[in-house]
Amino acid sequence: MSAHRVSLREITAETVRSICALEPHDGQRGFVAPNALSIAQAYFNRAAEFRAVYAGETAVGFIMWRPGEADDACVLWRFMIDKGGQGKGHGRAALQLWFERLRSQGIKTVRTSYVAGDAGPHGFYLAQGFKDTGAQLPNGEWLMELAI
Ligand SMILES: CC(C)(COP(=O)(O)OP(=O)(O)OC[C@H]1O[C@@H](n2cnc3c(N)ncnc32)[C@H](O)[C@@H]1OP(=O)(O)O)[C@@H](O)C(=O)NCCC(=O)NCCS
């Protein structure tokens, strides 16, 4: 259970450096892009949205999403919790907040894809209710889906 209240906050000129400094454990690097790269990619995909994850007043993570193919679908594109903040329920709490936000916008389905691997996020997503679709994307990532 998280000791501090988790929130999703807009990233500002003042906070962007601290958000780009957040990183997973070394062994998890292959599973998520660096936050600076994600923010740069969002610049070229104007439908993408991103927020910093805070626990209390401390930045602990990053989440980025984009619209899905259907109007009521959304794609979780990037998600990470800093190595120092993992295992405290922040990831779960951040996703729950994000789902609430999506529900209020009429979103019914969330998809995400993951890189398979021992230190990867597959088990985490299963624990959050995502189901395997069995589909593999051209980039080798596996597709999961959740009705929110
Ligand atoms: C995946 C990630 C976001 C999880 O964040 P976190 O804050 O450590 O997760 P939580 O503490 O909220 O864990 C929630 C639950 O998932 C479980 N869990 C977390 N990581 C897990 C994993 N890799 N495999 C299986 N279960 C996992 C926890 O045990 C916990 O279960 P519980 O509530 O029954 O105790 C984090 O490990 C991370 O940033 N990883 C590197 C980047 C990455 O892979 N991102 C996903 C890209 S698609």
Output b/e per residue, 116-143; b: 16+ Cβ within 10 A: eeeebbbebbeebebeeeeeeeeeeebb
Q: Whose CA is nearest to atom 20 of ligand 1?
A: 124
> In order of start, what are the domains of the chain with their CATH numbers?
6-147 (3.40.630.30)
pTM: 0.96
> For ligand 1, what atom is nearest to the CA of residue 24?
41
Indicate whether residue 121 lines ligand 1 (CB < 6 A).
Answer: yes
pLDDT in tens, the chain (148 residues): 556 899 999 999 999 999 999 999 999 999 999 999 999 999 999 999 999 999 999 999 999 999 999 999 999 999 999 999 999 999 999 999 999 999 999 999 999 999 999 999 999 999 999 999 999 999 999 999 999 9
DSSP 8-state code for residue 101: H
Ramachandran quadrant class, 106 (left: phi over 0; alpha: psi -120 to 50; beta: rest): left
d(CA 96, CA 35): 21
CA–centroid distance, residue 28 to ligand 1 (Å): 11
Instruction: Indicate whether residue 128 lines ligand 1 (CB < 6 A).
Output: no
